[in-house]
Structure 1
Amino acid sequence: MTLPDTVYRAYAHSAAQWPDHAFLYVMPETAGIYGIEAGEIHYRPFLERIDALKARYAQAGYGHGHRAGLLLENRPAFFLHWFALNALGVSVVPINAELRAAELEYLVGHSEICVAIALPSHQQALRAAAQAAGRQLAVIGPDDAPPAALQPAPLAARPVDSASECALLYTSGTTGRPKGCILPNEYFLHAGRWYAAAGGLAHLRPGAERMLTPLPLVHMNAMATSSMAMVVSGGCLIPIDRFHPRSWWDTVRESRATIVHYLGVMPAILMKAEPSPRDTEHQVRFGFGAGIDRTLHEPFERRFGFPLLEAWAMTETGSGAVIIANHEPRHIGTSCFGKEEPEVLVRIVNDAGQPAAVDENGELLVRHGGDNPRFGFFAGYLKDEAATREAWEGGWFHTGDIVRRNAQGYLHFVDRKKNVIRRSGENIAAVEVESVLLQHPAVKAAAVAAVPDPVRGDEVLACVVCAEPPAPGQAQSLARDIVAWSLTQLAYYKVPGYVAFVDALPLTATNKIQRGELKKLAPTLPGTALCVDTCAMKKRQEVTP
């Protein structure tokens, strides 16, 4: 039997096998927040809606090689438009609703989307971004009729298959603007098939699982791993708008979730709640995620009664090189994320480029086994062949993550990529934040680094050199002005939670920021006279039409 070779065909295949099973469940709480209908959405009826929308897009002239932006949050409409467009060979570009002017302008211009399906509250911002980027862009709502395509489909003569671009996901780079990862259908299909076959503590029961995820569909975890696992196995996905600590366990119980996906910050918050006799009243079999505080891992499992399976992957690797601690022993409390399976090849190299010794820290290099080392990985960075070649130097993908392997072969995570701040699961590129801060009239120079945060992992600290240093008593108001302006340009989580006014930045002889020195300096600044705490200003910003 020939396996489906596109996301749409995979969904249609499952709809034929499990027509009356639920594919999506919209929680009442989520429905209330989004203003949509609550309840289950079943495979076959949803396919009929997908096919009807597909026909409308085809009639409007959309086809293979076009790109469409999706700013639809975690709503069923995201899947409806994604699958309909995928059937025609149109790649989708998920757009984070938190993005602001500078970020949207870059994304619209770089991705060259020709149409954006967006919530009404965000449509004007997209039109303004397109104008600023000098791009023609049709912007419609999720229920609007597709407008005529602005240009013919570039690849109309080619068949849509596993190699066709399915999505373009942006990931924060360490040395510049976010990079667009080209993800073919193969990437998504392998993610689902890998998960369905992972086994061990992550065993999926065909047609029986209900997976709850608070993670955004603009990230590969929810869009590829979670969504495709349920599509391939005939399960039900329960996407909520975001993580709500106070109502989390009610959501878990009411949704009848059997699997939950998490970020490391979530267990830390949940463990702060008072213990309850209802802590184990749920149907969860396991949690899948990364980054849990090692001191909380065992206490969490003991209190709530299910294992948290730590995993490693990147947007670039997808499931082509995913590693997960889904077999015992899991070495709980040691930052262990398991051993690689035979189809994943791993090298760990030290600073000299030589194989790291047992328990020696080194950079993680990965590739898929077999004839195609890039199977399941991204196809490359859009418009950046040099970065793609560099990432694959020597035939191995260079992750930039530091790990170590113990004598028993288990891998342990040590540190994250240089210059990337990881706040509540979001990767934030220091350079991107710095480029925006430098546009503020009061800022002469700026450098951004991470400082520890007990809840979010990292918080963003900005060292700012002003053209005119603030006089005593002015630092507070100036810092708040810089942050308020930044909130109009960047997603709230990227904006500095601390602004430290300094006389000079640590620079190299060639005037580049000394990141190592900055990393040492940053944690010493909060609490000092010229370091202003602006964390309270970092709240989700409501967008008005």
Structure 2
Amino acid sequence: MAVNAYEQGLDRNPANHQPLTPLLFLERTAQVYPDFPAIVHGAIRRDYRSFRDRAVQLAHALTTCGIGRGDTVATLLPNIPEMLECHFGVPMAGAVLNTINTRLDAATIGYILDHGHAVAVVVDREFMPVLRAALAECAVHPLVIEVHDALAPEAVLGETLGGVDYEQFIAGGRADFAWAMPRDEWDAITLSYTSGTTGNPKGVVYHHRGAYLLATGNVLAADMARHPTYLWTLPMFHCNGWCFPWTVTALAGLHVCLRAVRGPEMWRLMSDHAVTHLCGAPIVMATLLATHDSDRRDLPHRVQFVVAGAPPPEAVLAAMQDAGFAVCHVYGLTEVYGPAVVNAWHDAWNAKPGPERAALMARQGVRYLALEGLDVIDPETMRPVPPDGATMGEVMMRGNVVMKGYLKDPAATQSAFAGGWFHTGDLAVKDPDGYLQLKDRSKDIIISGGENISSIEVENALYKHPAVAVVAVVAKPDGHWGETPCAFVELKPGMSATPEEVIGFARQHLAAFKVPSHVHFADIPKTSTGKIQKHVLRDRVRGG
């Protein structure tokens, strides 16, 4: 056998091979653009030198507490500077960052803290009451690090859990701390929980390599140039803000923080800071458009809005364009670091009539450059469906921006990766040009305001009502939220209830955004074997 000259004496070594990690983005930007504005939040103005130093101080402070490789540090934070610092400082300590959805109920937060074995939790005072309730039922007793943001609601200004103050905590760390690179780019960098469709939420593990690649993939998908100004309308607890904390930092951009999505404030910040990009669910778009003219501001240039979720209707797209926005439609899941599919637009499509443009925009699109494989596949045969725009199959992905797997759940991980593909559970068709379009969600997930809601979780809660015999929950189209849960209920013989009573009962058992917006009492359609025909109910609420 001939010797391969390209393998002789050409081994990996520290000079030619380093683990990919987005942590180095901050180091480079702070070195090249130390005085450039990095973060704006109320009266706070920080440059990249300060941003970098505070993140490293956080890393050192965590290390001095014995927190390091393999440990989990959780957060309950809105989109404030401390959340950005955690995206760098926590993994710089070798730990894994777990950004918890602040909209979850105490029981779910408690489960996540226990399941992820959080050794510390960084919490904003607005969320201290729910954390207090969660910790009361937790087996773990993490170090509590309290953030006292000046822009927090006045009603929570006095909240405390008796933990250590964040500013005092990082003051104990050194900015010259020699933080350790990951030993391997496969090392875990973050942990995110997704509700799935049944049982407890699953912990999705990201690695440094995937975070690096998706962050750079965002640059191309969102058409970002150097020094963008990014408005934080997308929660950073969602898939680490789709990796944009690292993307914007890599480009030496300005992070414009926003505690809560409010129309007038978004318009003000976009105008005052010349925002170039923002991301979010369709509800963010609806909030912008619903803002009264008196609260709107003139935009200095066209703003790129990256939207995920239900495709915007033609009228909304036209209204966004008139308001000064360019819309980029993306699709993804928690398991692929956020968006991994983009509706890559062709300039020639701009000349098409409005309805045709809207139909083209409604498609989810093609793979990110950072995703190596995307197809619509028959899950039984594992063969791609024909590109005829009609044959449905399951959306499957493979590549370096697919999760490591589900934490402590090898069975679910193996199932998700069956046949060498990540199975999304979403059903789609593939058009002749290769663009895919979702047609249904095989697991009946409801996406409301960008939040995934399990229909089964809502049903299980309603089944606890003493008068409920049978219940089925489906997605009801909603002009504001995109979708909301709609419950169909059969009552037990001789029992009675009102829709208001059932909704009130649901509020006692579910996070607010999971509570059904409508309850209908009716005979629920079933097959001859007793299976509920949810497609009939979906057609009913959609007027089909």
Task: Please state if 1:340 is matched with 2:340.
Answer: no
Q: 1:230 — aligned with what?
A: 248
* Displacement of 1:168: 0.9
> Per the alignment, do residues 413 and 512 of structure 1 end up closer, same or farther by CA in structure 2, a change over 3 Å counting?
closer
Structure 1 segment 151-230 matched on structure 2, within 5 A: 160-196=183-219, 198=220, 202-206=222-226, 208-220=227-239, 223-230=241-248
Q: 2:434 — aligned with what?
A: 409
* Displacement of 1:257: 0.3
What RMSD over aligned residues (CA atoms) do the two structures have, in Å? Answer: 3.3
**One-letter code aligned to 2:40:** Y
Unaligned 5+ runs, structure 1: 32-37, 148-155, 526-545
Structure 1 segment 391-406 matched on structure 2, within 5 A: 391-406=416-431
Task: Please state if 1:129 is matched with 2:159.
Answer: no
Q: Which moved more, 1:516-525 or 1:264-273?
A: 516-525
Separation in 2, partners of 1:158, 1:44 = 20
* Displacement of 1:161: 3.8
Q: Which moved more, 1:430-439 or 1:452-461?
A: 430-439
Structure 1 segment 62-73 matched on structure 2, within 5 A: 62-73=67-78
User: Which residue among 52, 56, 79 is the counterpart of 2:57?
Assistant: 52
Q: Which moved more, 1:107-116 or 1:433-442?
A: 433-442
User: Which residue among 269, 294, 297 is the counterpart of 1:251?
Assistant: 269
Q: 2:515 — aligned with what?
A: 495
State the TM-score, normalized to the length of structure 2.
Answer: 0.80
User: Which residue among 407, 410, 421 is the counterpart of 2:446?
Assistant: 421
> Per the alignment, do residues 265 and 406 of structure 1 end up closer, same or farther by CA in structure 2, a change over 3 Å counting?
same
Q: Which moved more, 1:298-307 or 1:500-509?
A: 500-509
> Per the alignment, do residues 248 and 82 of structure 1 end up closer, same or farther by CA in structure 2, a change over 3 Å counting?
closer
Identical-residue share of aligned pairs (%): 26
Separation in 2, partners of 1:465, 1:243 = 37
**One-letter code aligned to 2:88:** F
Retained in 2: the 8 A contact 1:462–1:496? yes
Q: 2:173 — aligned with what?
A: none
User: Which residue among 126, 139, 142 is the counterpart of 2:144?
Assistant: 139
* Displacement of 1:308: 0.5
Q: 2:160 — aligned with what?
A: none
Separation in 2, partners of 1:428, 1:468 = 30
Q: 1:308 — aligned with what?
A: 327
Q: Secondary structure at the match of 2:198?
A: coil
Separation in 1, partners of 2:180, 2:410 = 25
Retained in 2: the 8 A contact 1:294–1:332? no
State the TM-score, normalized to the length of structure 1.
Answer: 0.80
Separation in 2, partners of 1:469, 1:95 = 43
> Per the alignment, do residues 503 and 316 of structure 1 end up closer, same or farther by CA in structure 2, a change over 3 Å counting?
same
**One-letter code aligned to 1:362:** M
**One-letter code aligned to 2:418:** E
* Displacement of 1:275: 7.0
Q: Secondary structure at the match of 2:118?
A: coil
User: Which residue among 267, 270, 278 is the counterpart of 2:285?
Assistant: 267
Q: Secondary structure at the match of 1:307?
A: strand
* Displacement of 1:132: 2.2
Retained in 2: the 8 A contact 1:321–1:366? no
Separation in 2, partners of 1:355, 1:517 = 28
Q: 1:287 — aligned with what?
A: 305
Q: Secondary structure at the match of 1:412?
A: strand
Task: Please state if 1:119 is matched with 2:124.
Answer: yes
Separation in 2, partners of 1:6, 1:264 = 31
Q: Secondary structure at the match of 1:194?
A: helix
* Displacement of 1:322: 3.2
Retained in 1: the 8 A contact 2:233–2:279? yes
> Per the alignment, do residues 379 and 498 of structure 1 end up closer, same or farther by CA in structure 2, a change over 3 Å counting?
same
> Per the alignment, do residues 106 and 363 of structure 1 end up closer, same or farther by CA in structure 2, a change over 3 Å counting?
farther
Separation in 2, partners of 1:40, 1:363 = 49
User: Which residue among 1, 6, 9 is the counterpart of 2:24?
Assistant: 9
* Displacement of 1:107: 1.5
Say how many residue pairs are matched.
Answer: 491
Retained in 1: the 8 A contact 2:79–2:232? no
Retained in 2: the 8 A contact 1:14–1:234? yes
Q: Which moved more, 1:498-507 or 1:418-427?
A: 498-507
* Displacement of 1:66: 0.5
Task: Please state if 1:356 is matched with 2:385.
Answer: yes
**One-letter code aligned to 1:6:** T
Q: 2:336 — aligned with what?
A: 317
> Per the alignment, do residues 194 and 440 of structure 1 end up closer, same or farther by CA in structure 2, a change over 3 Å counting?
same
Separation in 2, partners of 1:105, 1:262 = 27
**One-letter code aligned to 1:430:** S
Separation in 2, partners of 1:501, 1:91 = 46
**One-letter code aligned to 2:376:** I
Once the two structures are superposed, what CA deviation does each residue of 1:520-544 show, in whole Å capped at 9, x if it has no partner? 465689xxxxxxxxxxxxxxxxxxx
Separation in 1, partners of 2:262, 2:314 = 23
Unaligned 5+ runs, structure 2: 1-15, 148-164, 171-178, 350-355
